[in-house]
Amino acid sequence: MGIEDKKEKNKLVYLVEEETQKLIKWVKNIEKSDDLTIFEKNQEIVTRLGTHYRSDGLTEIGFWTPKLMREVLHPKDIYLEIFTPLEKIDWRKPSQNIKFRRDCVCLERYDIYFWGVIAGLQAGTRDNAGSFYWLRYVTPSGRVEIIRDVMAYSLPYGIFAPAELYDIDSLQKERADIDYFKHTGTIRDKKIPRVSDPRHILQLHVGTATEEGTFEGLTHLYRTIGDKIRKNQTLSAYEQNYVGYDAIQLLPIEPTIEYRRDFSNHSTMFHITTDVNGLDRDLSHEPIVVKLSKPNTQNWGYDVPIIGSNATNPSFLGTLRPDELFDFIGVLHNFPEKPIKLIYDLVYGHADNQGELLVNRLFFKGPNMYGQDLNHQSPMVRALLLEMQRRKINTGADGIRIDGGQDFRFFNPLSGRVEYDDQYLLAMSDLVQEVEGYKRRLFTIFEDGRPWPEDGWEDKSTYLDLIKLKSESYQWGPLIFAHNTPALKGFWDRKWSRVCEVMTQGQNWITGCGNHDTFRRGNQIPLDSDVNEHLGDSLNEIIYSAYDNPAVGLWVYGFSPGLPMDFINVLMHTPWMFFRNTDEEYGVKVVCEEVGFLDWRITEQLYQRDDVFTRMKSWGFRELDQLKEFTHTLNSTMIAKDYDLEEVILACQSCFKEVDGAYCDLETLKFLKQAEMIDFLQKLDSDRLKQWANMFMEDCYQVCNVSHYFEKVDPAYTQFNLSLRHFRSQHSWIHNNIQGSDRFNRISEDGATIFYGIRNNPDNTDEKLALVVNLEGKSREINLLDWLQLDVDEWEIVFTTPNLSPPDDIKDLNCFPLAQSQGFLLKSKKQEISNK
């Protein structure tokens, strides 16, 4: 053993040379294989990248470092920097100073990788913190740079902090739902089953779906509801909104971008207060101090930096431990009566520009409207992204929703055209999940609106492209995309052609009209639009009635083909908007785009609650009208100044500060000068406006939390919706497209839009359903028995919308006045199923 080897052995943390060479030999053997393509070789190699804590206590680690191929560096100037806590970390504490031991280990370089098997690292668990790590190197100019682990399992202090080594294998072995995977998966490599499709889906945003805004909160909620069901206890009205679904779909839960005041890649939540750059890496030192700040990122989840995509957003973890996600999945899979499936919303079509600070530039092809296009045509990037997805779904998901399928495009030099990368999309669907040896393929939903963003895409899109390629998959249907606005007068009449498509070819479409996209789009309806005033007496009532409409629900759940999805904020009549508190550059612009939120969602009564808009009130906006006036004025000023923030500030200063020669050239600002916010406006500058925009977003995020509205939930409506979900589960044939003997018609006259029809169970000719609903406009007399030629002795009413008293006799369904949002569902009395 040489002097250097002895020196390494005397360290607490050191490279195990023999095991490292075994790892590198494995990589070399893969690369030498004549049986694999370049992409297939990369697929094998990426399974060993990142960190893997072994049962023998050693840690395998690998970094893909093409960037360093261009650098002429001394081997000692490239090292793994490790921070192991010497004190107990309080994961719930907003801020704390913790002493860490710092170790530096040189890894072995092979080709475009750095590999190592390390002794002495501490693996994270539910109760204990693991060692934090990243790769450091010193440039020829003496600058110290960082390469982060894009495959990290745990990022408790965000994407700019070092990753945490985690004992993911033990976490898998200890999960509470192994029997579920045993029953739904297989240990064989052939005939791997695909998870069956659900009958209905509930969409949740983790941060606003419970008071806690964490997986811990969701676990507590569903465990409480499950215990009530086991004990035959009555569920409260709001609890009923969470159950009766076959599956839950979460908005993206991977780590998102973070707030930055500059374009640096330094961590603000893992702030190393000791200067380590001048310390000798070969010597032991006094402990260093790190200031830890708990993440509080608020975002829909689609602004992803790609790094750590297989990890969980730490803002959704009350304890910052990955165990919370596993706990939640275990509760769902062991839910009483039947398991609840979990669907992940995956974002691999684009990345936020912040990703350029964190991952290798080879991940990106170039800029797009969201940030950066991902380079799926690079064999290594393609393999890395699929490996991130594999690790993500191995946490225990049952399905995936692939965001923005139309964004997966590339230039094909052979055809000379820009084409869709359908092969990659299908590979995402066919990726095999493995949980403790049990393999499955997941139920798949594609969001794909091609030819978006081409002009007229709403009318041109078939929403069938990927269903034709993979018949068992689903796509978002035409009525669930963001451009739909059912609060507008004539919406359902104008959408009749799409409604007919839902009925005739929509069995593999996600249906309904209320989700995170459409519900937000309602805020953006101009106030001078022709809205459907029959929905309510105020904008607030109109918007909630439009998206949570009992007549629409009766049609979607009781009669329509497809797979219905509801959004919890719609069901709870909870405000919703696009929010993110991660913007330094675009924060004010984002706020301006959400200006309608205050008009459509917030009432004076809500605003005056002590627990909402506390930040805005502290800035002097005591009344809702004051805040509305300022936000609308700011929006119009931003538009007038072409979103140039400095020009906007100058315009405000010209109107509100006593500046020599200043002229107020905007009428909206002149008017605002008369308002009570003059003190706030006189002090306005760029930093203050950005701070205000960030606080506005945080206030809105808080008011979008459903827990504020539990007591206002109407039990008649929640029971109606829950009963409809049960009905659809018991009548699975409704899911299929209508057949030749079925009827579905519209009457659009006298200011009303009536849908009515009859459906026949193809497997039981005695079972039929009949529907009539008034989706829009004035009350209209219906003659359902005549329209459908129904024999009153053969039918019974099974559902009446809760805003309607059922007739005393079914015969009264002729000459019956049916107002907007009202309807009936009838079922044939003969239900005997033939055994022939």
Residue 674 has a pLDDT of 54
Strands 201-204 and 409-412: unpaired
| pLDDT value at 832 more than 50 | no
Give the three-class secondary structure for 251.
Answer: coil
Q: How far is CA 30 from the centre of its chain?
A: 36
Residue 750 has a pLDDT of 82
CA angle 465, 468, 472 (to 5 degrees): 115
Are 579 and 299 within 8 A, CB to CB? yes
User: Residue 486 contacts by C-beta under 8 Å, 6 or more apart in sequence?
Assistant: 492, 513, 532, 546, 547, 549, 552
537: left (phi over 0), alpha (psi -120 to 50) or beta: alpha
Nearest to 315 by CA among 333, 346, 294: 294
Residue 661 has a pLDDT of 56
Give the three-class secondary structure for 697.
Answer: helix
Q: Is 316 exposed, middle or buried (0-12, 13-18, 19+ CB in 10 A)?
A: buried
Nearest to 577 by CA among 552, 543, 610, 549: 543
Q: Which residues pair with 138 in a beta bridge?
A: 144
Residue 69 has a pLDDT of 84
Residue 1 has a pLDDT of 47
Composition of the chain by helix, strand, coil, percent to 5:
35, 20, 45
Q: Which two tokens stand for residue 52?
A: 């893997």
Give the three-class secondary structure for 700.
Answer: helix
Mean predicted confidence (pLDDT) in 428-436 = 99
Are 826 and 797 within 8 A, CB to CB? yes
| pLDDT value at 34 more than 50 | yes
CA distance linking residue 225 with residue 765, whole number of Å:
38
Q: Is 353 exposed, middle or buried (0-12, 13-18, 19+ CB in 10 A)?
A: middle
What is the average pLDDT value for the chain, to the nearest integer?
A: 94
Tokens 């004549």 — which residue?
34
CA distance linking residue 311 with residue 358, whole number of Å:
15
Residue 783 has a pLDDT of 96
Q: Confidence class of residue 833 from pLDDT cuts 50, 70 and 90?
A: very low
| pLDDT value at 446 more than 60 | yes
Better-predicted residue by pLDDT, 740 or 42: 42
Tokens 């959408």 — which residue?
495
pTM for the full predicted model = 0.96
**DSSP state, residue 811:** G
Q: Is 127 exposed, middle or buried (0-12, 13-18, 19+ CB in 10 A)?
A: exposed
Nearest to 396 by CA among 455, 324, 446, 491: 324
Q: How far is CA 372 from the centre of its chain?
A: 19
pLDDT tens profile 280-322: 676 656 799 999 999 999 999 999 999 999 999 999 999 999 9
Contacts 24+ apart (CB under 8 A), 411-416: none
Look up residue 368 and give its amino acid: N
CA distance linking residue 176 with residue 332, whole number of Å:
10
CA distance linking residue 347 with residue 515, whole number of Å:
17
Dihedral sign, Cα of residue 497, residue 499, residue 503, residue 508: positive
Residue 653 has a pLDDT of 79
CA distance linking residue 365 with residue 264, whole number of Å:
22
Mean predicted confidence (pLDDT) in 526-536 = 96
| pLDDT value at 75 more than 90 | no
CA distance linking residue 534 with residue 487, whole number of Å:
10
Q: Confidence class of residue 533 from pLDDT cuts 50, 70 and 90?
A: very high
Better-predicted residue by pLDDT, 144 or 469: 469
Residue 835 has a pLDDT of 35
Q: How far is CA 549 from the centre of its chain?
A: 24
Residue 675 has a pLDDT of 56
Query: By percentage, how much of the chain surpasses pLDDT 70?
Result: 95
CA distance linking residue 75 with residue 116, whole number of Å:
14
User: Residue 54 contacts by C-beta under 8 Å, 6 or more apart in sequence?
Assistant: 60
Lowest mean pLDDT among 173-182, 235-244, 368-377: 368-377
pLDDT tens profile 758-803: 999 999 989 999 999 999 988 999 999 999 999 999 999 999 999 9
Are 787 and 519 within 8 A, CB to CB? no
Residue 834 has a pLDDT of 38
- Other C-beta atoms lying within 10 Å of the C-beta of residue 44: 17
Q: Is 833 exposed, middle or buried (0-12, 13-18, 19+ CB in 10 A)?
A: exposed
pLDDT tens profile 123-164: 999 999 999 999 999 998 889 999 999 999 999 999 999 999
Look up residue 577 and give its amino acid: M
Question: What secondary structure, in 3-state letters, does 566-595 show?
Answer: EEHHHHCCCCCCCCECCCCCCHHHHHHHCC
CA distance linking residue 228 with residue 243, whole number of Å:
12
Tokens 């006298």 — which residue?
750
Mean predicted confidence (pLDDT) in 503-516 = 96
Q: Confidence class of residue 261 from pLDDT cuts 50, 70 and 90?
A: confident
Contacts 24+ apart (CB under 8 A), 122-125: 122/84, 122/165, 123/53, 123/59, 123/165, 123/166, 123/167, 124/154, 124/164, 124/165, 124/166, 124/167, 124/321, 125/166, 125/167, 125/170, 125/171, 125/321
The helix (H) or strand (E) run that includes residue 222 is: helix 215-230
Q: Is 796 exposed, middle or buried (0-12, 13-18, 19+ CB in 10 A)?
A: exposed
Dihedral of the alpha carbons of 510, 512, 517, 520, in degrees to the nearest 10 = -170
pLDDT tens profile 556-588: 999 999 999 999 999 999 999 999 999 888 899
Residue 658 has a pLDDT of 60
Query: By percentage, how much of the chain surpasses pLDDT 90?
Result: 85
pLDDT tens profile 610-655: 999 999 999 989 999 989 999 998 999 999 999 999 999 888 877 7
pLDDT tens profile 92-125: 999 999 999 999 999 999 999 999 999 999 999 9
Nearest to 446 by CA among 425, 462, 427: 425
